[in-house]
Amino acid sequence: MLPYIAVGLLLAVLTLLSAQGKWLTGSRYIALGVLIIFAGLRYQLGYDWLGYERLFEFVPDNWDVSQYGLSRSILATEPIYYLLNVAIKSIGGSFELLLLIFAVFNLIVIDRLVNKIAPGSAAFVWLIYFCVALLAVQFNLIRQAVASSFVIIALMKSSERRYWQAALWFVVGLGFHVSVIVFMPVFLVQNITPRPWHVAVSIGITVCLFGASQALGVRTLELVGGWLPEFIGSKTENYIQGFQSGAAFSGISPFAVLLVFAYLYLLTVFLKAERHVYINVAIYLTLLVLFAHVAFAEFPSLWNRIMCVSLPWQLACLWGIGYFRRLPAYARSSMLAVLATFSIGVMTYQLSRPESVPFVPYHSLAQVWLFGDQGDGRLRAEYTIQTANVQH
C-alpha cells in the first residue's frame, strides 16, 4: 500500500505549491509523469485485465479480421478496440504495451482538458482523481477509460463549436465502448446555460421518477433496447442481467449523492460570474451522474462509467471558478491540506477492503524486467473473482 500513499502525498505537496501560485508548470508535468509511470507500468493489477489479456492472445497477428465475430464469445467488444489489438500484435507488441499506450493516451487527454479549463489546477485534479478514481477507471475499466477519453475530446471540440470534429471523435469512442452513448444529451444541451431553477427542477424530476418506480433503470433499458441497433441493444441485455443478478455493491451511495448536491450548489452559486460552456458541461455531467445514481441504483458500474468523464471535468471547473483562490492564503492551504488528508484516507480505506486484494501490493513492470519478479497479481485477481462468484 505504501506506493499508493507515497504518490498521494507527492500530489498533495504539488497541490499545496500550486495553490500558492508556485511551480505551476513543474507541478503539472511532474504529476502527469508520475501517474503515467504508475499506471502505464502496472503489472497484473485489477480485475478486467484478465479478460482483455485473453482477447489479446486470441486475436490474429495479421490484418485478417475474420475472427472478429468469433471473438465475441471470448469478450464482447467493439470493432475499433479489436482492431487496435490486432495492430499492436501485428508489430510484435505485447498486452503490456497495449495497456501502456492506453494509460499514456488517457492521462494526456485529461491533462489537456484540465489545462484548457483551468490552467494551474493539474496537481489538484490529479490528487483527487488518483485517490478516488484512478484504480477504478485506469486500472479496471480498460475499454471504457479509452472510450471516455474520446468523449472528453469530443466535448472539448463541441465546446469550441467544432461540431464535425466532435462527431468524429464521439464515433471513435463508440468504437471502443457503446455505453458512451449515454453522454449524447450533454452534447445536445451544452450551449444552454442552466439556471439554478433548471437544476432544481431536474433534481425534482429525477427524485420523483425514482419514487414512482425503483425499477426505472430496468424499464428504461428494456424500452430503449428494443429500438437500438443490435450491437448496442445487446449491451442493454447485459445491463438488465446485472440488475437482476443483484450485485454485491448495489444501492445508492448516500455520500456520493451528497457530493453531487454540494458540487451543484457550488457551481450554480458561481455560475453568474463564470458563464462559460465548460461550466455548462460540468453541471450537465453532474446531473447525469445524479440520474445514474438514482435511476440505476442497482448498477454501480454505470455510475463509474459516467464519472470517467465527469470527475476530471468537474474538478477542473471547481478550481476554475476560483473558489479556492479567493480564500486567504492560510485558509486556502489549510482547506487543501484537509482535503488531501481526507482523500488519501479514503484511498487507504478502499485499498484495505477485501475487494481491493487485486490492487495490493502494487506491482510494476520494472520489477519484472529488473528482477524477473512476476508477482502474484494473477492469483489474487482470480481468487477474488472466484470468491465473488461463490457469494453470488
Give tens-digit pLDDT for 66-101: 777 777 677 878 889 999 999 999 999 999 999 999
Give tens-digit pLDDT for 172-194: 999 999 889 999 999 998 888 77
Task: Write the DSSP assignment of 13-26 as a string of letters.
Answer: HHHHHHHTT-SHHH
For residues 264 and 156, the model is more confident at 156
For residues 276 and 107, the model is more confident at 107
User: Which has the minimum average pLDDT: 27-41, 129-143, 262-276, 296-310?
Assistant: 262-276
Task: Write the DSSP assignment of 206-268 as a string of letters.
Answer: HHHHHHH-TTHHHHHHHHHHTTS-HHHHHHHHHHHHHHHHT-TT-S--HHHHHHHHHHHHHHH
User: Closest Cα partner for 294 from 182, 195, 190, 215?
Assistant: 215
pLDDT at 216: 55
pLDDT band at 40 (very low <50, low <70, confident <90, very high): very high
pLDDT at 248: 35
DSSP E strands, 17-100: none
For residues 302 and 339, the model is more confident at 339
For residues 285 and 300, the model is more confident at 285
| Percent of the chain clearing pLDDT 70 (strictly above) | 79
pLDDT band at 298 (very low <50, low <70, confident <90, very high): low
Please determine, for residue 234, whether its predicted confidence score (pLDDT) is greater than 80.
no
Please determine, for residue 229, whether its predicted confidence score (pLDDT) is greater than 80.
no
State which H helix or E strand residue 104 sits in: helix 95-117
pLDDT at 228: 55
| Percent of the chain clearing pLDDT 90 (strictly above) | 44
CA atoms of 378 and 50, how far apart (whole Å): 8
Q: Determine phi and psi for 273, rounding to 5 degrees.
A: -85, -15
Which amino acid does the sequence have at 242? G
CA atoms of 281 and 276, how far apart (whole Å): 9
Q: Which SS3 state, helix, strand or coil, does residue 8 take?
A: helix
DSSP E strands, 260-316: none
Please determine, for residue 368, whether its predicted confidence score (pLDDT) is greater than 80.
yes
- Other C-beta atoms closer than 10 Å to the C-beta of 181 total 16
Give tens-digit pLDDT for 241-277: 554 444 433 444 555 666 676 677 666 665 554 567 8
User: Which has the minimum average pLDDT: 26-30, 47-51, 232-236, 288-292?
Assistant: 232-236
CA atoms of 353 and 339, how far apart (whole Å): 22
Q: What pairs with residue 42 in β-bridges? A: 364
Which amino acid does the sequence have at 304? N
pLDDT at 144: 93
Asked if 43 contacts 361 with a C-beta cutoff of 8 angstroms, the reply is no
The owner of cell 418506480 is 213
pLDDT at 230: 54
**C-alpha 346 chain-centroid distance:** 17
Residues 6+ apart with CB under 8 A from 54: 74, 75
Asked if 218 contacts 297 with a C-beta cutoff of 8 angstroms, the reply is no
Q: Which SS3 state, helix, strand or coil, does residue 351 take?
A: helix
- Other C-beta atoms closer than 10 Å to the C-beta of 112 total 14
Taking the CA atoms of residue 97, residue 365, residue 102 and residue 256 in that order, the dihedral angle to the nearest 10 degrees is: 160
pLDDT at 392: 47
For the residues 1-15, what does the mean pLDDT come to?
95
Global pTM value: 0.87
Please determine, for residue 351, whether its predicted confidence score (pLDDT) is greater than 90.
yes
pLDDT at 297: 64
pLDDT at 323: 66
Please determine, for residue 309, whether its predicted confidence score (pLDDT) is greater than 80.
yes
Please determine, for residue 364, whether its predicted confidence score (pLDDT) is greater than 50.
yes
pLDDT at 250: 41
For the residues 156-173, what does the mean pLDDT come to?
95
CA atoms of 167 and 184, how far apart (whole Å): 10
For the residues 364-378, what does the mean pLDDT come to?
93
Residues 6+ apart with CB under 8 A from 83: 65
pLDDT at 249: 35
For the residues 8-36, what does the mean pLDDT come to?
90
